[in-house]
Structure formats: structure tokens, C-alpha cells
Structure 1
């Protein structure tokens, strides 16, 4: 069913929390990209497909662990804030689901409405 979805008038704190989720996730993704593949040193092994994997002596530092832990805790807090916001209680059924999906595109609404 094609059409244009009208964005609800989201409270500012809800919009801000959603934007902050995206910022934290981007920061966490960038951090994971620069960290070693393994959290601990790993001996050489053969994976389930029979491919031999070399040993890896690189591991996450205490600072890496602290940064990941802090960002994941922040993400959890933000997701909880968004998911339990009082605004959702003002909507019912499919409109609540549609509004939640619209919030994920909160910064798109200035450019173009989301086509449904």
C-alpha cells in the first residue's frame, strides 16, 4: 500500500534520545572496527569448516574493555528510554508500530516523507 506517512509530533526528548542512540551505535561500530578481532589471545585453531586459523596475540586492552562496556551501557539506557517513553502510551495498535518506525527516520522527515 503506497502512500506518505505523516510523522507524529514526537516530544523533543524522545527525538533526542533516538538521535543519541544512532550516535552511540556509530561510535561503538567505529570502536569495534579498530579493535583486534579477538578479545583475548587465541592459539591457532581449525574452524568448523576445516580452515586453519593462525594464532592471534593481539587482545583488547583494559581501556578497550572499558570503552566498549561504557558505550554498551549507554546504548542500553537510551534504548530503554526510547522504548518506555510515555509517548507510546498515547498511541494504540498499528499506529504505535508505525510511529516507532517513523521515529527511526526522524531526521529524514525534513527532506522527504517516508514512502509506505
Structure 2
């Protein structure tokens, strides 16, 4: 789950209710850093989507989409220069849809080649 107020991504075990932090340090520890999940920093993440073994994160106040590889626990930036992205949805096995909130548009991100297409296009 995304925890925007603490700039963290958490995992909840539904059987034991145990919660662990995958990415993030705490309430006043935020930023924009890729790398190992226990060292990476986010700022007010909101949307999440699972696609092909990775968790994609709408890193809202960093205006970026981040990828958490669940096998290696590495965080990387896969799209930037967005305008407070919020919601994420999976269109197919290689396309992520992004609510680019402050530009009032949807951006499709091809996770294979990194190309984006916006609807409607930027004015």
C-alpha cells in the first residue's frame, strides 16, 4: 500500500496483519533517490500498480513514476516530468496508464521502451 503521509510503500501480510516498510524511512524523511529499496526515497506516493513482477509507484510530489523490482528490491525512475501523477492502471502486459493530474490527461507508458503517449496531447 502507498502511505503518502510518510512517503512510504508498505506491505501487509493479510493473515498475520504484520506490516513492513518496503520503501521509505518515515514521516519526515522524503526525497528523490533510486537504489536499494531500504535506501530509496519517495515524496508523497499515491498510486500503485503491479505489472510483470514489479510494483509501479506514482511518486506524486517528485512528478515521476518509480519501479520497485520485487525480485531485487531495487527502485528506479521510469518516467519523469509529469505533473503530480496520482492513479495508475495496467492496460496490458507492457503498458501502464498514468493519471497526470495537474495536466488533466492520461499518459500511457510503454514499460519496455520507456516511450509515453498522452491523451489529450500537451497544449
TM score, norm. by length of structure 1: 0.17
Which has the bigger relative contact order, CA under 8 A and spacing at least 6?
1
Higher helix share: 1
Bigger CA radius of gyration: 1
Q: Which has the higher strand share?
A: 2
Q: TM-score, normalised by structure 2?
A: 0.16
